[in-house]
Amino acid sequence: MSFASVPRLFALTLLCATATPALAQAGDPVKGKGVFARCALCHDVKPGVKKMGPSLSGIFGRTSGTTTGFTYSPAMQKAKIKWDAKSLDAFITKPGALVPGNRMAFAGIPNATDRANLIAYLKAEAK
């Protein structure tokens, strides 16, 4: 290895080490069910069940602010986020940072493993 390639190798190593941890791991849906308990006061994974928040059934591939029968904040409607693992990870990390002005009164889930597990649970249960 030449000396000139060391900076590139360092940069690649740093990039891999700082990748979003929740997306770097698959997550455990069983553990994710426990994490979802934090969400269950306001959300359900069953279709059509509306609480303070919309049902999360069919969340993957859906655009933010579009569930029929739920009144979203203008901020969430305007965001036009297509929900996938990456966008959900960003949102549940700190909802107010990704969509300022949304009505969800939740600080977020700072632990990357908890987020990965929650996303795995939603993939499995919110079909």
Neighbours of 120 (CB within 10 A): 22
The pLDDT, as a whole number, for residue 127 is 78
The pLDDT, as a whole number, for residue 5 is 45
The pLDDT, as a whole number, for residue 12 is 37
Which long-range contacts does 75-78 make (Cβ < 8 Å, 24+ apart)? 75/99, 75/100, 75/101, 75/102, 75/103, 76/102, 76/103
**Structurally, what CATH architecture does the domain formed by 27-125 represent?**
Orthogonal Bundle (1.10)
The pLDDT, as a whole number, for residue 26 is 86
Per-position pLDDT tens, the chain of length 127: 454 544 444 433 333 434 444 454 689 999 999 999 999 999 999 999 999 999 999 999 999 999 988 999 999 999 999 999 999 999 999 999 999 999 999 999 999 999 999 999 999 998 7
The pLDDT, as a whole number, for residue 4 is 52
Residue 3 CA neighbour count, 13 Å, CB half: 0
Provide the whole-model pTM: 0.79
Enumerate the domain spans of the chain: 27-125
